[in-house]
């Protein structure tokens, strides 16, 4: 499933367009595409992303809020899902769910593991135990190769 990604175009909270592939060049990325209205995302996947960030410090965890009709995210609504009131890893906005579509997401949350060279290593849907285990195995196997 390895193919090189040239661009992942999102917006930051100030409305600036950011290419995540360029911004985080030479970093192993774990991206979670989610939506605030998805209870599996906010209840399981976001805490899991935070857990991965703590457990694998060499990985850059990034959140992408996929905007759907009447389910758009703002800095305030995104910040509000975190009980601490602070956002623990970078989160960007996917206007009109273009990135969601770019990766043929099955739903939210959709996880993307991208190599330092910009290759898509894994794309995994879900937040329950099966998806969680697949993510752990993917991270463990990749981190060991470094």
Q: What does the pLDDT look like over 18-75, one tens digit per residue?
A: 999 999 999 999 999 999 999 999 999 999 999 999 999 999 999 999 999 888 899 9
> Is there a domain that residue 113 lies in?
yes
- Counting the structural domains of the chain, the total is 1
Within-domain flag for 3:
no
Tell me what pLDDT residue 146 has: 46
Q: Greatest CA span in the chain, whole angstroms?
A: 42
pLDDT of residue 99: 97
What is the residue whose two structure tokens read 């939210």? 108
The reported pLDDT for the residue numbered 2 is 52
- State whether residue 37 is helix, strand or coil: coil
- Would you say residue 1 lies in a domain? no
The predicted model gives 97-111 an average pLDDT of 97
Query: Any idea what the CATH number is for the domain that residue 135 is in?
Result: 3.40.30.10
Average pLDDT over residues 3-29: 95
- Whether pTM exceeds 0.75: yes
| CA proximity to 108, closest of 50, 37, 56 | 37
SS3 20: helix
Q: Where in the sequence is the domain holding 128, given as residue range(s)?
A: 9-145
Q: What is the reported pLDDT for 85?
A: 81
């Amino acid at each position: 499933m390895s193919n090189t990604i040239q661009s992942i175009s999102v917006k930051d909270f100030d409305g600036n367009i950011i290419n995540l592939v360029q911004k985080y060049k030479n970093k192993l990325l774990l991206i979670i595409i989610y939506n605030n209205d998805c209870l599996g995302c906010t209840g399981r996947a976001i805490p899991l992303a935070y857990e991965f960030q703590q457990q694998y410090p060499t990985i850059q965890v990034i959140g992408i809020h996929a905007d759907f009709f009447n389910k758009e995210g703002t800095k305030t609504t995104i910040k509000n899902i975190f009980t601490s009131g602070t956002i623990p890893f970078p989160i960007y906005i996917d206007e009109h769910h273009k990135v969601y579509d770019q990766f043929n997401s099955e739903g939210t949350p959709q996880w993307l593991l991208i190599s330092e060279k910009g290759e898509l290593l894994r794309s995994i849907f879900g937040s329950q135990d099966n998806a969680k285990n697949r993510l752990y195995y993917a991270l463990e196997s990749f981190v060991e190769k470094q």
